Amino acid sequence: MMTKKFYATSPREALNQIKNEFGEEAEIISNKIVNGRVEIIAKQGELDTHSKRSARGHSSATVDAQQPSTGIEKIIDEIREMKNGFYKKLDALLWTSSKQLKPAQNVVLDRVLAAGFSPNLAKRLVEKLPHDYSEIQAVAWLREILARNLSAEIDEQDFLNSSRVLALVGPTGVGKTTTIAKIAARYVMCHGADKLAFITTDSYRIGALEQLKVFGSILGVSVHAVKDHHELQLTLEHLRDRKSILIDTPGLCQRDKRVDAQMEMFDQVNVPIKRILCLNATNQIETTNDVVNVYAKQSIEGCIITKVDEAITLGSVLNVIMQHKLKVCYLTNGQRVPEDIELIDKTQMFERVITDKKVSTDLSEINETAFSAMFKQPPSAHATRITAYA
């Protein structure tokens, strides 16, 4: 699959270049400002729109038309997030310049922003830092207070036995099916395959059932596909002898109306279904917050942080999790089943997230061209409202 770098003086110009080169199905890999210019790395989509319609037929094309675009619109969304993230950092720097911060306060501000947490949270932590702390004490205090405000599962057996039926939900591409296989493998090692079953409600994605059947065959676990709450109810009754049932669900954009329909399916059966939200560690804080805002309306009882191995920092996802007071059940950090999944050790987590190395924010590369090309509104218009966790 072809990958290429594009340089332009504005996001619109870069998008036009990408569209001309790769078409509407182009996918963004990264975006940043380099020497005052927009740099976007994009890759060619798997198939262009015409090929997809030919391969899937008219009905599949109709389904695709109902779903949010994953091409140019996704690129625009990511550039918008990049712009908003820049504004937030700029707000924090302007706030810092207006204050006379002590060295320990500067350390806290620097570490929190470098880890990817929101500027609002950084400001609140700086304000709550004890005034007589040294820089070393400030870093230790910062790790401790963040760990204290993160809820995490500490006993895997309690989690596995806490609900007979467990459903993983979340957006497309977050890794739900692989994560279910990892959880299943750990369950089978403790209790045996005959006590477990898979159900999938994913009738949208091509190959979804086949992928789960592969995992089921390897683990010796039966796999059952359902399309609506009637089939789900019948299948759950058929599997009443199983001690644990894991449900794989379709990946749906948080703006997709089918999210509510999926959750209503679970509400309409007479068996309690525990719902765990999978969150992509690589997403921007705005995207993660939007996902949680939508799914949290549906009685979410915890979350799993996925793709930890692909994330540069974990502050964004942890910021949102603490803001919404979600409990972290697992981290996943690779594709291996069942190795790449683990419970959180909060002490080790924040030793990794809040590093001892100073990472200063430097505005020397931000010039007039970058501002005129990318930003049209004052920073204050993009300030976020994050509650304090301290």
Tell me which of 187 and 355 has the higher pLDDT: 187
pLDDT, tens digit, for every residue of 286-307?
889 989 988 877 788 899 999 9
Q: What is the DSSP letter of 270?
A: S
Pick from 40-44, 132-136, 378-382 the range whose average pLDDT is largest: 132-136
Name the band, by pLDDT with cuts 50, 70 and 90, for residue 24. low
**Cβ 83 vs Cβ 12: under 8 Å:** no
Structural domain for 185, as ranges: 151-343
Query: Whole-angstrom Cα distance, residue 186 to residue 159?
Result: 12
Average pLDDT of 100-117?
A: 86
Within-domain flag for 85: no
Give the count of beta carbons closer than 10 Å to the beta carbon of residue 339: 11
> From residue 32, how far is each of 39, 154, 179, 318 by CA, in Å?
5, 38, 31, 23
pLDDT at 317: 93
Q: What is the pLDDT of residue 376?
A: 45
Alpha helices by DSSP H, listed for 162-297, are: 176-191, 208-219, 229-238, 258-267, 285-295
In contact, 202 and 250? CB cutoff 8 Å: yes
202/332 same-domain check: yes
pLDDT (mean) for 92-119 = 76
Q: Is 184 exposed, middle or buried (0-12, 13-18, 19+ CB in 10 A)?
A: buried
pLDDT at position 322: 93
91-96, Cβ contacts within 8 angstroms, sequence gap of 24 or more:
91/119, 91/379, 91/380, 91/382, 91/383, 92/119, 92/122, 92/123, 92/361, 93/361, 93/363, 94/379, 95/119, 95/123
Cis peptide leading into 272, omega within 30 of 0?
Answer: no
Residue that terminates a domain, selected from 304, 319, 343: 343
Check whether 47 has a pLDDT greater than 60: no
Asked if residue 322 and residue 214 are part of one domain, the reply reads yes
Q: What percent of the chain has pLDDT over 70?
A: 72
> Do 174 and 37 fall into the same domain?
no
240-268 in b/e form (b: 16+ CB < 10 A) is eebebbbbbbbbbbbebeebeebbebbee
What residues does 151 pair with on adjacent strands? 327
Single residue among 15, 49, 77 that ends a domain in this structure: 77
> Which position has the higher pLDDT, 31 or 194?
194
Judge whether 47 lies within some domain. yes
Range scoring the smallest mean pLDDT among 36-50, 59-73, 118-132, 204-218: 59-73
Q: Which of 38, 54, 77 is the last residue of a domain?
A: 77
Query: Mean pLDDT, the chain, as a whole number?
Result: 77
How does pLDDT run across 225-269, given as a tens digit for each residue? 988 889 999 999 999 889 899 999 887 777 777 777 778 888 888
For the cut 70, the answer to whether the pLDDT of residue 332 exceeds it is yes
My answer on whether 67 and 172 are in the same domain is: no
Residues 182 and 67 both lie in one domain: no
- On the question of pLDDT at 345 being above 60, the answer is yes
Residue 139 lies in a domain: no
Report the range of poorest mean pLDDT among 80-84, 94-98, 275-279, 382-386.
Answer: 382-386
Same domain flag for 171 and 59: no
Looking at the structure, do residues 60 and 174 belong to the same domain, yes or no?
Answer: no
* pLDDT band for position 1 (cuts 50, 70, 90): low
**What CATH number did the domain enclosing 226 receive?**
3.40.50.300
Provide the pLDDT for residue 306.
Answer: 93
Establish if 366 belongs to a structural domain: no
Per-residue pLDDT at 73 exceeds 90: no
Query: Is 130 inside any structural domain?
Result: no
90 vs 87: CA distance, rounded Å: 5
217 and 304 share a domain? yes
Q: What's the average model confidence in pLDDT over 330-344?
A: 87
Predicted confidence at residue 43, as pLDDT, reads 79
Judge if 67 and 157 occupy the same domain.
no
How far apart are alpha carbons 27 and 65 in whole angstroms?
A: 18
- Average pLDDT value for residue range 121-130: 89
Do 160 and 305 lie in a common domain?
yes
- How many C-beta neighbours within 10 Å does residue 230 have? 12
**pLDDT of the residue at 255:** 72
Asked whether residue 319 is domain-assigned, the answer is: yes
Distance CA 359, CA 115 (A): 9
Please give the sequence-ordered ranges of beta strands (E in DSSP) within 35-77, or none if there are none: 37-43
User: Does residue 145 contact residue 390 with C-beta atoms inside 8 Å?
Assistant: yes
- Res. 170: pLDDT tops 60: yes
Whose CA is closest to 26, among 11, 58, 4?
4
367-376 burial, b at 16+ Cβ within 10 Å, e below that, comes to eeebeebbee
The answer to whether residue 371 is domain-embedded is no
Indicate if the pLDDT at residue 71 is higher than 60.
no
Task: Report the number of distinct structural domains present in the chain.
Answer: 2
Q: Give domain status of residue 175, yes or no.
A: yes
Q: What is the pLDDT of residue 87?
A: 55
